Amino acid sequence: MKPTKQTPLNHLSLFYWQLQKWQKRPPNSRQFLSNLSSTTLTTSLKTNNKKLDVGSLSSINPRTAFKAYVETCISLLKTYLNQSWIKQGRTLHGHLIKTGISSDRYVAIKLLIMYLNCKRSDEVNEILREFGGFDLVAWNCMINAHIQNCNIEEARRIFDEMPERNEVSYSTLIAGFMRLGRVDESISYFEKNPFQDVVSWTTMISGFVQNGSNLEALKLFEKMLEFGIIPNAITFTCVVKTCIGLKDFGFGRCLLGLIVKYGLKSNLSVCNSLITLHLRMGDIESARKVFDQMEERDVVSWTAILDVYVEMGNLVEARRIFDEMPERNEVSWSAMIARYSQNGDAEEALKLFHLMVLDGYKPNISCFSIVLTALASLEALPLGTNIHGHLIKIGMEEDVFIGSSLIDMYCKCGKTEDGRRVFDSLSEKNVVCWNSMASGYSLNGKLEEARELFDRIPKKNTVSWNTMISGYVQNEQCDKVFEVFDEMLFSGGIPNGSTFSSVLRACASLASLEKGKNLHGKIIKLGIQYEVFMGTALTDMYAKSGDIESSRKVFNGMHEKNEISWTAMIQGLADNGFGEEALVLFEEIEKTSAMAPTVVTELIFLAVLFACSHCGLLEKGFRYFESMERVYGIKPRGKHYTCMVDLLARSGRLNEAEEFIKVMPFQPEVNAWAALLSGCSIYKNEDIAERTVKKLWELAEENSAGYVLLSNIYASAGRWTDVSKVRKLMREKRLKKIGGCSWIELRNEVHSFYCEDGCHSQSADIYAILELIHGSDE
């Protein structure tokens, strides 16, 4: 990657020029300062733990200045290392040799690490040859370098062969094993460690957090306090993270006390972690207060505060802060890109990604997975394939995060086989890879493949189960939903909100009140009945099952409602014939204008227009329709127009309805014509009916689903000869009608029957008995 003008290389060119003179005579502070750009100076002073103020500027002596220069070179090497700019690193190495600085031991170690990480064994050996004997510090650095390079066995070899070890040697090796998830080996070295200092305890705690064992981490922290080891700032950052992971906010508050007790309230790292802790505890105010009161802030603080604004629902402000941040790195870029993607603005996410690359930042694994997710949501296959190629080139395609995102991307683009190819190519898969693949199959309607893969998942988690359950829900195989759900409970899987919302959806589509009530009980037992998702799903389930009273009760009891909850209630009321009440509810939203802009969406308008058309409220309907764009800035979509056609057709205004379709700004939905035809059959208007049928035939030609619809329309209009005509045509074209389904609920179990034979496990017996009944009839 070619660095742009912002990269440190240009600051360095000033050095190269100055360096020749310094070779002969060390520079004095004035010369040093006058040849440094402020950025480089800040970096170098920072590494010397000095603050940049007037006092420190004037007190700088040549030796400090030169030391600062060496430090600067080291920090540059670090930058090159992080960005994998081996070319720049080598250029710098050349200059360091010329100026004799490469013989500085620390510089040499940094060079060594850089080459090790870039897997340049020639250069590594050359430097090692030059430095026949390394001391303890150097060996420790080597261990660290091998660990960074994921070569733990080499690190262990050095550790075992070292003439002496100190506390750093132990902590480094322990951290290395933790990084690779080899917790047992970490524990073993920790127990063998004769220097159990804060650092090694902290390493262990942090290791447990990395490996998802938050509880273990917390236990260790308590043990550490019992042993009388004084935690430091880094310990607290780890423990705070544990607390966030466990969502144990009672302990969070205890931690705040401990932090004050140990005098770390103003520590930079601690404050950085506290911003997120407060945010996760739902206390946006305190999160901001911590940030505002910080004496110094770094790039982590700025990145953390972005989320505070996102949490406030203010993405625009978050972006403004991002644009004006004093310092950015690849994490801050990734954070901003992720927020856009998660807010459904994948285009903006990708634009930002482009800017990031243009700015010379190297996207890391997280960043690529965010970007792949954004591409998946846009179904941007060519771009996705392009990135995949790039990932192979830089050797990142084996990572589980990347792999999962790639599988997801291909499957969301309908390329299940390509997804599978990625899946098969992963030598190490975690449960997410499996889940992505299973979900990819079910997304593309390949439920048998999904099930087969699902059964092979070594360690299923809640998401695995949810994937399978929601797959069956989406493909309307409700009996399978309950089957898998029972299996989940039986094998000890813990359902969460999204499990219930899927199963409730199955209840809703079966209108199975009994099962729904049963689930409601389980949900209350788990204490998640007040969560928005749950409340909404319950409201919907009761409404769809015809128990509008319970639906209302759940809805009114919800502590927090979102636009989907309101939509579910309004839709539910409208569906159950309480159109007037649905509209009253909508007007309630409109009156509380503070809520309106976030709650009123195109979906809610659909429910409202539906209510109008079912109550025959023609004028009201048109008023709402017209207010969509004028008041709320929502462009009506095809479905909204269809509702309006329905409204006109049901009111017998067939000519107006036909005219309405004609002047629509875009191609009407098939359903719009269907609504018109249904109006024609109510009001017996053969004239318009004929024209509409002609249109419907044209559309059916384009889209096989049109035939099904057409046959249904004819059926509901009682035009049976036309129905058989369509069916015959479908048979000729080998189009299969999506089977109708009926079901009964027996002893809390739903038995479904589809048009095709043999779907029920006992269908042979059932048919035999039917035969018997028929026989006895005659």
Is residue 67 exposed (0-12), middle (13-18) or buried (19+ Cβ within 10 Å)? middle
Within 81-100, the residues that bind DNA by CB under 7 A are none
Identify the CA nearest to 60 among candidates 36, 78, 76.
36
Phi/psi of residue 770, nearest 5 degrees: -60, -45
Binding piece for DNA, criterion CB under 7 A, among 126-134, 151-159, 197-205, 250-258: 197-205
Per the CB < 8 A criterion, the answer to whether 308 and 335 are in contact is no
Question: For residues 714 and 722, what is the distance between their CA atoms, to the nearest angstrom?
Answer: 6
Residues 55-74 that bind DNA (CB under 7 A): none
Radius of gyration of the chain (CA): 33
Rounded to a whole number of angstroms, the minimum distance from the CB of residue 608 to DNA is 22
CB of residue 746 to DNA, shortest distance in Å: 28
Backbone angles phi, psi at 744, to 5 degrees: -135, 155
Please pick, from the candidates 202, 416, 512, 545, the single residue that binds DNA as defined by CB under 7 A: 202
User: Which of residues 416, 502, 567, 571 is near DNA by CB under 7 A?
Assistant: 502
- Where does this chain touch DNA (CB under 7 A) — which range of 366-374, 448-456, 552-560, 721-729? 366-374
User: CA quadruple 44, 47, 50, 52: dihedral positive or negative?
Assistant: positive
Q: How far is the CB of 644 from DNA (least distance, A)?
A: 29
**Rounded-to-integer distance, Cα 177 and Cα 161, Å:** 18
Smallest distance from DNA to CB 443, Å = 7
Rule CB under 7 A: say whether 304 interacts with DNA: yes
Contact between residue 149 and residue 117 where contact means Cβ atoms under 8 Å apart: yes
Residues 213-232 that bind DNA (CB under 7 A): 232
Question: Among the candidate windows 14-22, 170-178, 252-260, 352-360, which touches DNA by CB under 7 A?
Answer: 170-178
Distance, CA of 697 to chain centre = 43
Task: Identify residues 117-146 at the interface with DNA (CB under 7 A).
Answer: 144
User: What is the closest distance, in whole angstroms, from the C-beta atom of residue 444 to DNA in the complex?
Assistant: 12
List the interface residues with DNA, window 393-452 (CB under 7 A).
399-402, 404-405, 408, 430-433, 435-436, 439, 443
Is there binding between residue 497 and DNA (CB under 7 A)?
A: yes
**Does the protein bind DNA through residue 529 (CB under 7 A)?**
no
In this complex, which beta carbon is closest to DNA, that of residue 413 or of residue 612? 413
DSSP codes joined into one string, 154-212 = HHHHHHHH-S---HHHHHHHHHHHHHTT-HHHHHHHHHH-S---HHHHHHHHHHHHHTT
- Two structure tokens written together for 24: 């002969």
- Residue 652 neighbours by CB distance under 10 Å: 15
Binding mask 732-761 toward DNA (x if CB under 7 A, else -) reads ------------------------------
Residues in contact with DNA, total (CB under 7 A)? 75
Question: Nearer to DNA by C-beta: 75 or 474?
Answer: 474
Q: Does 356 bind DNA (CB under 7 A)?
A: no
Taking the least distance from each CB to DNA, the nearer of 198 and 596 is: 198
- Using the Cα atoms of residue 755, residue 760, residue 764 and residue 765 in order, give the sign of their dihedral: negative
Torsion sign over Cα 234, 288, 343, 609: positive
* Binding to DNA in span 269-298, by CB under 7 A: 269, 272-273, 276, 298
Q: Which stretch binds DNA (CB under 7 A): 6-14, 96-104, 199-207, 769-777?
A: 199-207
Q: Are 690 and 697 a contacting pair, CB within 8 Å? A: no
DSSP state of 547: -
Per CB under 7 A, the list member of 31, 42, 196, 210 interacting with DNA is: 210
With contacts defined by CB under 7 A, name the span among 128-136, 150-158, 219-227, 323-331 that binds DNA.
Answer: 323-331
Residue 206 contacts DNA per CB under 7 A:
yes
Q: Which 8-state DSSP code applies to residue 421?
A: H
Site string for DNA, 245-264 (x = CB under 7 A): --------------------
Give Cα separations from 331 to 6, 304, 363, 368, 622 (angstroms): 17, 10, 9, 12, 49
Q: How far apart are CA 156 and CA 161, in angstroms?
A: 9
CB of 496 to DNA, least distance (A): 6
Site for DNA in 692-731 (CB under 7 A): none
In 3D space, the residue among 413, 439, 438, 437 whose CA is nearest the CA of residue 425 turns out to be 437
Taking Cα atoms as reference points, which of 465, 523, 469, 464 lies closest to residue 497? Answer: 523
Smallest distance, DNA to C-beta of residue 409, A: 8
Residue 193 binding DNA, by CB under 7 A: no
* Nearer residue to DNA within complex by CB, 408 or 479: 408
Residues 324-343 that bind DNA (CB under 7 A): 329-332, 334-335, 338, 342
| Residue closer to DNA, measured from CB, 96 or 294 | 294
Tokens of 375: 């591409």
Distance, CA of 569 to CA of 617 (rounded, Å): 19
Nearest-CA neighbor of 607 among 628, 630, 591, 592? Answer: 628
Angle, vertex CA 333, rays to CA 328 and CA 335, nearest 5: 115
Q: How far is the CB of 273 from DNA (least distance, A)?
A: 4
Q: Which of residues 628-667 bind DNA (CB under 7 A)?
A: none
Cβ closest to DNA, residue 474 vs residue 562: 474
- Residues 749, 750, 753, 759, Cα dihedral to 10°: -60
Residues 22-61 that bind DNA (CB under 7 A): none
Residue from the set 11, 241, 480, 695 that interacts with DNA by CB under 7 A: 241
Q: At its nearest, how many Å lie between DNA and the CB of residue 364?
A: 4
Q: Which is nearer to DNA, 198 or 729 (CB)?
A: 198
Region of 48-56, 185-193, 218-226, 466-474 interacting with DNA (CB under 7 A): 466-474
What residues pair up with 746 in beta bridges, in sequence order?
749
Q: Give whichever of 142 and 376 is closer to DNA, judged by the CB atom.
A: 376
Given the complex with DNA, which of 300 and 569 has the nearer CB atom? 300
Q: Judged by CB under 7 A, which stretch of 92-100, 114-122, 363-371, 748-756 contacts DNA? A: 363-371
Nearest distance from C-beta of residue 579 to DNA, angstroms: 26
Structure tokens at 37: 């750009």
Binding DNA (rule: CB under 7 A), the pick from 180, 357, 365, 705 is 365
Contact 565, 589 (CB under 8 A): no
- Binding to DNA by CB under 7 A, coded x per residue (else -) over 367-396, reads x-xx--x--x--------------------
